[in-house]
Amino acid sequence: MARGTRSRWGITGTVAAAGAGAAVLALVPGGPLHPALHRAGRVVGSAVAPPASAAELPAFSTCEQLRQWYVHAALPEVGPWGLGPPPMMLADPGSGRMQPLGPTASQDRVPVARPAVGSSPSGTNVQQAGVDEGDIAKTDGRVVVRVVGQELVVTDVSGPRAVEVSRTRLPGTLLFQPDLLLDDGVVTIVGTEGRMYDGPPPIRYRQEVRPQVTPDIAPRLTPDVAPGPRSPGFLPPSDPGSRTRIVSLDVSGSSPRLLSDRTVDGEPVAVREYPGGTVRVVVGSHVPRIRFVQPDRQLTPAEATAQNRKLVRQASLAAWLPRITSASGQSSQLLDCSEVRHPVRASGFGTLSVLTFAPGAAGRPSATAVTAAGDLVYSSPDRLYVATTSVDGRERTTVHAFALDGPRTSYLASGTLPGTVRDRWSLDEHDGHLRAAVALGSPWQPRDNALVVLDERGDRLVPVGRLDGLGRGEQIQAVRWLGDVAVVVTYRQTDPLYTVDLGDAAHPRLVGALHLRGFSGYLHPLGDDLLLGLGRDATSTGTDLGARAATFDLHDLAHVRRTGVLDLRRATDLATLDDPHAFAYLPARRTAVLPVTGEYAARFVALHVGTEGTLRRAGSWSAAGSDAVDDRVLPLGGDRVALVGQAVRIVHVG
């Protein structure tokens, strides 16, 4: 997805929530809607699901059936502006940075013994070992690559000082900071390409002529468009022009060389790379290529809605399926009808496509898709999960699983979690079980939190285990999965740090709870059963006292101890809490390096962890003039790290 990980409850989540409420209809192939199918419980979207098994998931019998699915899923969402509400998202035309307008006993001694977690070979702090993630800067120890403006910048970091060696103008126009991968000298760049929208004209009101029931009821007032200057910086609610651009360049030589360039309809949701050199890009396309009408002097909102609904009913399948375009401008449909599956139960409106290809490959990527919405991705080495959370009074999260087998990707199963998932770190797959930490009720004021375990049963993800009572009335702040152990932090005024035994997937068991002031918003395994927590200190009444780092001893899960604490009171924020990519841990040096933001400046700070879990400052470097959220720390080997902000610097950590 476009950068903007700061809030899971911004505009993107709101749109997904609206889509997830689509009506469920049934369509008999070649015939009308059949009410008996509703009672049979096998109705999915607008198509009747064929009999499913573990080896064969629901597919569409015909392309027309697929088209009808899209039509009936979209109709409940159609309004006077097309699909979605009026523009509600501002962008800074200068920086292209999106600004969402929304909120952000001995039997208890379960062995942990998990190793320390370092960065991926490309320098990124990742969630899952063996699965690299797209980020804004990458290294192979020889060079650092990043995108500045519309240029790929390559910096040589093999010597004592960083030296910029090239700047290459990228094709197209990227609206946001793209995700990068670096593998064997090949850079893969995945970003959002589209057009800035100068917004609707100012709205004035006019009377809509309607029969009045009684004389004392005033005529309904409806919005009308008045002439006047437009307000720059708005993005439209349903702009089919947004596309995902995927560019690969060879940076192994003295000058970068373009290998491939293609665009796909929709916006990038996630970028991952797997051992053996397989890249997967998840793209979500939720807006068909339909020229919707909008209210103006000639059309009332009701009239615009009626016309838009008619346009949706008449749209061909080509308007719904995403297209892929080569660098030469040749465009074709990304997917055949047979490559699009649907969940057993409807899950939002749109198409989630998973593209699979080798880094730098110029040929057409393979693709598989599911008719669903999704804005959150977690991946293990052999499974990829895409989730969408619905916040509509019946909070729930739908998860779609894809099986990964080398270069092969196939849609596997879908299921529903109760409540809402805060972020991808709340999901984990282990020994064939998908585990999730969920908030029950409103994500902002949950009545309770739970751990839920799901298993694959044919074409469904089925709950098999559950533990409630993790911080009633509190928000989940951080989750870390350590094999058969989960550590969950919740917060309202104090920080309960819960330890959960998941050795028996059907019966998760609460082992211990440590209550402290403040909270940890990111947890990182340090080895030796030690855990680093980054967060904020607070008084017993919840008053914020500033950023804080702490270490926890997990040898006895029933009696977790805090072994070290370091207050960073001059720092007003820790970028890692917004984006864990803004963090690096060097296990051999027992040192963490991260950007922190003070009242007037940002700095990179190194924290050394003693063998007993003590904490001390081990270094500090200015990051003046940079945005800490976009700063990165890339290990280069030994005690050398690259500090990436407005420029690239090499420093040594002790």
Per-residue pLDDT reduced to its tens digit, 454-511: 999 988 999 999 999 999 889 999 999 999 999 999 987 677 999 999 999 999 999 9
Higher pLDDT, 53 or 245: 245
44-58, 113-127, 321-335, 553-567, range with the lowest pLDDT? 44-58
611: exposed, middle or buried (C-beta count within 10 Å: 0-12, 13-18, 19+)? exposed
pLDDT computed for residue 444 by the predictor = 83
Joined together, the tokens standing for residue 59 give 């597919």
Distance CA 324, CA 265 (A): 7
Residues 424-461 as b/e (b if ≥16 CB within 10 A, e otherwise) read bbbbbbbeebbbbbbbbeebeebebbbbbbbbbeebbb
Given a cut of 50, whether residue 83 has pLDDT beyond it is yes
Distance CA 423, CA 442 (A): 15
Distance CA 259, CA 292 (A): 37
pLDDT computed for residue 373 by the predictor = 84
Per-residue pLDDT reduced to its tens digit, 19-77: 333 332 232 233 332 222 222 222 223 333 333 333 345 678 899 999 999 999 899 88
Given a cut of 70, whether residue 624 has pLDDT beyond it is no
Residue type (1 letter), 261 = D
Closest to 415 (Cα-Cα) out of 352, 506, 345: 345
Q: How far, in whole angstroms, is CA 266 from its chain's centroid?
A: 15
Cβ(134)–Cβ(272) under 8 Å? yes
Residue whose pair of structure tokens reads 């979690």 in the numeric block: 417
C-alpha distances (whole Å) from 112 to each of 486, 491, 501, 558 are 10, 24, 10, 12
Distance CA 279, CA 179 (A): 12
pLDDT computed for residue 483 by the predictor = 94
Given a cut of 90, whether residue 202 has pLDDT beyond it is no
Mean pLDDT: which of 14-23, 107-116, 118-127, 222-231 is highest?
118-127
539: exposed, middle or buried (C-beta count within 10 Å: 0-12, 13-18, 19+)? exposed
pLDDT computed for residue 196 by the predictor = 52
Higher pLDDT, 216 or 562: 562
What are the φ/ψ torsions at residue 300 (nearest 5 degrees)? -80, 165
Q: What is the mean pLDDT of the chain?
A: 80
Who's near 122: CB < 8 A, 6+ residues apart?
132, 135, 138, 139, 140, 181, 182, 183
Q: How far, in whole angstroms, is CA 507 from its chain's centroid?
A: 29
What are the φ/ψ torsions at residue 553 (nearest 5 degrees)? -95, 120
Distance CA 284, CA 305 (A): 25
Q: How far, in whole angstroms, is CA 365 from its chain's centroid?
A: 22
C-alpha distances (whole Å) from 412 to each of 57, 218, 373, 455 are 7, 55, 16, 12
408: exposed, middle or buried (C-beta count within 10 Å: 0-12, 13-18, 19+)? exposed
Closest to 193 (Cα-Cα) out of 247, 251, 153, 271: 247
Joined together, the tokens standing for residue 623 give 């990051």
Per-residue pLDDT reduced to its tens digit, 347-388: 777 899 999 999 999 889 999 999 988 889 999 999 999 998
Distance CA 180, CA 188 (A): 6
Cβ(573)–Cβ(594) under 8 Å? no
Distance CA 410, CA 97 (A): 34
What are the φ/ψ torsions at residue 108 (nearest 5 degrees)? -90, 0
Is the pTM here over 0.85, yes or no? no
With H, G, I as helix, E, B as strand and everything else as coil, classify residue 358: coil
Given a cut of 80, whether residue 163 has pLDDT beyond it is yes
Rg over alpha carbons for the chain, rounded to the nearest Å, is 25
pLDDT computed for residue 16 by the predictor = 34
Average pLDDT (419-444) is: 94
Who's near 195: CB < 8 A, 6+ residues apart?
239, 241
Residue whose pair of structure tokens reads 């910048």 in the numeric block: 153
Residues 468-502 as b/e (b if ≥16 CB within 10 A, e otherwise) read eebbeebbbbbbbbbebbbbbbbbeebbbbbbbbb
C-alpha distances (whole Å) from 80 to each of 224, 240, 296, 300, 545 are 12, 16, 10, 8, 47
Q: How far, in whole angstroms, is CA 229 from its chain's centroid?
A: 36
Could you count the other beta carbons within 10 Å of the beta carbon of residue 288? Answer: 27
Average pLDDT (277-293) is: 92
Per-residue pLDDT reduced to its tens digit, 527-585: 989 999 999 887 766 677 788 999 999 999 999 999 999 988 765 788 899 899 999 99
Helix (H) or strand (E) holding 91: strand 89-91
Provide the residue ranges of all domains of the chain, joining segments of one domain with +: 1-97+137-197+233-418
Q: Are strands 351-357 and 366-370 parallel, antiparallel or unpaired?
A: antiparallel
Higher pLDDT, 495 or 621: 621
410: exposed, middle or buried (C-beta count within 10 Å: 0-12, 13-18, 19+)? middle
- Quickly count helices (H) and strands (E) in the chain: 5, 49
Q: At what angle do helices 301-314 and 63-74 cross, to 10 degrees?
A: 170
Average pLDDT (609-623) is: 92
